[in-house]
């Protein structure tokens, strides 16, 4: 059962080791309704592993993950999606040999639990819903192009449309602007801000571009050596000497 007063997402004391190497060491964080929380940290801090623990792609050695107050620690990735968790990946994960429209239709096929042997009928049934999702992400005029023919920024927009097909109540975005130029980054931010604001979807995102972090995040969590070093408002994190030291003098 979900709890309307609980945080959208809560990680409590998550730990994950590979052999003798502890990648995540007791990390805890929360994401509440209305928040856009950035997860940052130097290379090797454990950000991707922590994201995988939250999404269910890896199982924690200990600790808990709660979605809207429900303990989903033992849930598979797909069961977490069913509970409202949407996740995009660091590298675009769309089907390159399918059109943009077909990619979203296939996502809807899974959401509606329709058998693959009914693909033809199912895709026709979900056309209008898929078109609406592509409209949201700015791809309505490119819906019939193969995903492989789209620019990298448009492929990431398509991935967002596929993610939105599951009607997520919280989004996990793994480096949403990675590999993008300045204009594509700005367009991506505008798109994500508009969609999440309109649908009241909280966001947890990993990002290396500090200009993106401090222009979008309402709160910033800094992970260092698998542990949360700082969790606070962007302006406080930017001024924190511990964060500057963790980045070895990098501009933040």
Q: How does pLDDT run across 7-48, given as a tens digit for each residue? A: 999 999 999 999 999 999 999 999 999 999 999 999 889 999
The predicted structure's pLDDT at residue 110 = 78
Q: How far, in Å, CA of 223 to CA of 44, rounded?
A: 10
Pull the structure tokens for residue 196: 């999440």
The predicted structure's pLDDT at residue 32 = 96
What are the residue ranges spanned by the domains of the chain? 1-84+170-180+201-252, 92-167
Nearest Cα to Cα of residue 32 among 201, 147, 186:
201
Rg (alpha carbons) of the chain, rounded to whole number: 18
| Cα torsion 111, 47, 220, 176: sign | negative
The mean predicted confidence, pLDDT, of the chain is 89
Task: Look up the CATH architecture of domain 1-84+170-180+201-252.
Answer: 3-Layer(aba) Sandwich (3.40)
Q: How far, in Å, CA of 142 to CA of 153, rounded?
A: 13
Read off φ and ψ for residue 242, nearest 5 degrees. Answer: -65, -35
Length of the chain (residues): 252
Alpha-carbon 84 to chain mean position? 12
Contact (CB, 8 A) for 67 and 84: yes
Pull the structure tokens for residue 95: 């089907």
Pull the structure tokens for residue 191: 């798109």
Nearest Cα to Cα of residue 37 among 170, 158, 199, 211:
170
Q: What is the mean pLDDT of residues 195-217?
A: 92
| Cα torsion 49, 191, 238, 32: sign | negative
Nearest Cα to Cα of residue 87 among 10, 172, 202:
172
Q: What is the pLDDT of residues 40-93, one digit of tens each?
A: 999 889 999 999 999 999 999 999 999 999 999 999 998 999 999 998 765 556
Q: What is the pLDDT of residues 229-250, one digit of tens each?
A: 999 999 999 999 999 888 755 5
Pull the structure tokens for residue 35: 């928040």
Reply yes or no on whether the pLDDT at 117 is more than 70. no
């Amino acid at each position: 059962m979900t709890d309307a007063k609980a945080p959208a997402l809560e990680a409590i004391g998550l730990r994950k080791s590979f052999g003798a190497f502890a990648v995540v060491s007791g990390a805890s964080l929360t994401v509440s309704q209305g928040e856009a929380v950035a997860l940052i940290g130097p290379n090797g801090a454990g950000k991707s592993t922590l994201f995988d623990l939250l999404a269910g792609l890896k199982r924690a050695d200990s600790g808990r993950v709660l979605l809207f107050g429900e303990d989903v620690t033992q849930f598979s990735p797909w069961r977490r999606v069913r509970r409202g968790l949407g996740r995009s990946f660091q590298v675009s994960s769309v089907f390159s040999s399918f059109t943009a429209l077909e990619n979203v239709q296939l996502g809807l096929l899974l959401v509606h639990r329709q058998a693959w042997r009914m693909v033809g009928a199912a895709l026709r049934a979900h056309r209008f819903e898929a078109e609406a999702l592509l409209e949201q992400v700015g791809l309505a005029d490119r819906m019939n192009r193969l995903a492989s023919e789209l620019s990298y920024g448009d492929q990431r927009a398509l991935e967002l449309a596929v993610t939105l097909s599951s009607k997520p109540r919280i989004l996990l975005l793994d480096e949403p602007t990675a590999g993008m130029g300045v204009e594509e980054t700005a367009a991506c931010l505008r798109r994500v801000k508009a969609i999440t604001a309109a649908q009241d979807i909280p966001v947890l995102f990993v990002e290396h571009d500090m200009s993106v972090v401090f222009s979008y995040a309402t709160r910033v969590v800094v992970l260092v050596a698998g542990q949360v070093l700082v969790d606070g408002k962007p302006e406080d994190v930017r001024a924190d000497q511990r964060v500057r030291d963790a980045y070895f003098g990098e501009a933040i």
